A = this chain, B = another copy of it.
Amino acid sequence: MKTGRLEAFSDGVLAIAITIMVLEMKAPDDTSFKALLMITPVFTSYILSFIYLGIYWNNHHHLMQVSQKVNGKILWANLHLLFWLSLIPFTTSWIGENEHYTETLPVFVYGFVLLMCACAYFLLEKALIQYHDDNSELHKLSKRRLKDYASFIIYVIALPLAYINTWLSILCYVLVAIFWLVPDRRLEKAPE
């Protein structure tokens, strides 16, 4: 099987997930500046989630670029990733409901879904590497894991932090996003 349709389907789900979040941003009730400010928390979490989904789309794009074929296992690993990514709009909407981001549970759940997305992506990568014995580019990926491991560790630290101070958790989530946004040229050359 070729990767074409898996890419098309993933593009579809990601495009919808990234766009329906904006549906949660209901138009303010009146036209005052105060009413506009009321949607700031939803808007802020929309930006973060947009960036996260953008990162996943980018990485997925790169991953498929170096892959040539898929099997049933990979299709399901991909659907598993899409499942967790599809929950991001839900958690974004919940986290954005609280004006000051001080409620523990939404921040915790948001981080948990991000962690599960990272795990699902890791599993997809593994399934692809396993299926392409002879693909040197994919195998190189399995050696460059600094960023992946760092993200995992930060998420795992961020989750309990939500019970101490939600802003510390959010800082961790932002940190991971920045981590992946910065072009990874130097990291790629860093020793493992």
Contacts and interface: CB of A to CB of B under 8 A. Distances in A.
Contact of A25 (B31, B50, B90, B183): B90
Contact of A27 (B6, B86, B97, B183): B97
Interface string A15-36: 1111110111111100111001
Nearest to A91: B27
B27 A90 contact: yes
A111 interface: no
24 contacts: A5-B61, A6-B61, A8-B8, A9-B14, A12-B12, A12-B15, A12-B16, A16-B16, A16-B19, A19-B20, A22-B86, A22-B87, A22-B89, A25-B90, A27-B90, A27-B94, A27-B97, A31-B104, A36-B105, A36-B109, A50-B79, A50-B86, A57-B79, A76-B181
Q: Which of A26, A47, A83 has the most CB of B within 10 A?
A: A83
A181 to B, nearest CB: 8
Given A58-B72, A79-B54, A106-B31, A5 B11 contact: yes
Interface of A: 1, 5-9, 11-20, 22-28, 31-33, 36, 47, 50, 54, 57-58, 61, 64-65, 72-73, 75-76, 79, 82-83, 86-87, 89-90, 93-94, 97-98, 103-106, 109, 181, 183
